[in-house]
A and B are shown apart, each in its own frame.
Chain A
């Protein structure tokens, strides 16, 4: 409203100028408002932990896109501790930044705080992991689709084989796990010949993933596919398959943020047959774009609520070497 008034005023001023006949040096009507809307704004970033490659990628995107516009970015690092995260978010609400980018540890912990923050006039953008509490924007992966994509590939690979697959989950209570699982289940429901022989949680730990996979492979030497929930953890899964000498027989599917070493290199080496990648730099750019839009449009919390799902790229041996599929973290 304020912006349009300003534009109107500018137009009136232009008309009032005598003898303006040539359209040279005409004032661009948007940029002043845009820069003013962004300048001096404060964006807070609350990841699960700054030690994750995802968080580093997102923060890099935010900084490169927003800082040149005069937006201040502050980071709070709860270091995987959700109580610390909740406390940091509570403190942020009292500090009143304009936007908080929240990476939820699960669907419930931050829900009340997100509601409280938006009630206090702070825009909440959720990244990659949506809370049950909807906020102004969600940027990130569609986990149900993620599960479905992996499951379809594994089902395809198991055609004509034993049909036995194993699932290596992260934390059972993590919502991403639950959503991914529902995606997998919907695909499996259409393929009754596929049998899940083991569905275990490795708590995001690679050594545990390896132990579980080793045991499962010993019990089911004819296993044809494994769906893992995170590529960093599934290094262990892949190592177990590799050690058992079953790399050709067992189709290993996993997912992750597309960092070269964790994704493309592993697919190239044959450790994973599939890594469904959500590009973290793209997510970072999406985040920044969303924030730019929200701030320049002067959106108030609660007025709108929208999603921006990240494109999922299945990385297989066929495209792992292609330019731009993976991204490399700067040290």
Chain B
């Protein structure tokens, strides 16, 4: 039974290693949400190591002490029904452990679902992140720009990612910034994150969505607000616009590299409505076959303001941004014109 003992030593040393090791992405957070999660994980590992220790000590002691080869031949093990005090101990202590972990869980879950503490007074930067086979589209309605397969964000500013999918369920995960959340075709999920250190962080789709899942990686570049503003300006002046035809082509292409546009797809293909609204829509502008056939029945809303906004890029980042229709409220994103049908 030497193996069990060494397994324990191995596990303990790995646990110690974990806490000091920075090559482990999940435990190397670069933002408050990921830091909360990293702390939670390390706390639970410490607690669970205690549990393992108790079980392993009892296990080794009993196996060494009561092996048949050590006892006398005529030794007859006693009949034991159980012991209510011992049983009470190993019911009560686990309940206490679970209670402690429950409190930690509820607190940390609540914390990472909200805008991180200390950033509540800032207006979050809303970015729509949508997936299609097999790429990520990032639409910045405030700036009126869109990227494919890369995400640039300013540091120390709360980011509100609004996730949805043009196909199978995907899960957007940037381990060093925040935990993951699903992107689905019939509702929008919100993922709050802040990067508090400049740098490049790998993001990926962690939920299996077909053949190209393994390739759905993207770079998240956290840059200073100044650089970010410069980048936005540059995109607006140099990148081409994203029109509906091009977007449809983009959706149907399996693999594309990075792309940059000076307008978003939200104007002609808005995000799905909130979930309560789900049963009312019979359709979403999501590029699936069904929709294409129903196109005539559900004309795309032609909002003159949108066109105006798209036509005049906002050159100066310090000027107040024109309100994008998609950012207004969910009501606007809804297929208002569809409802009339």
- A and B from one assembly? no
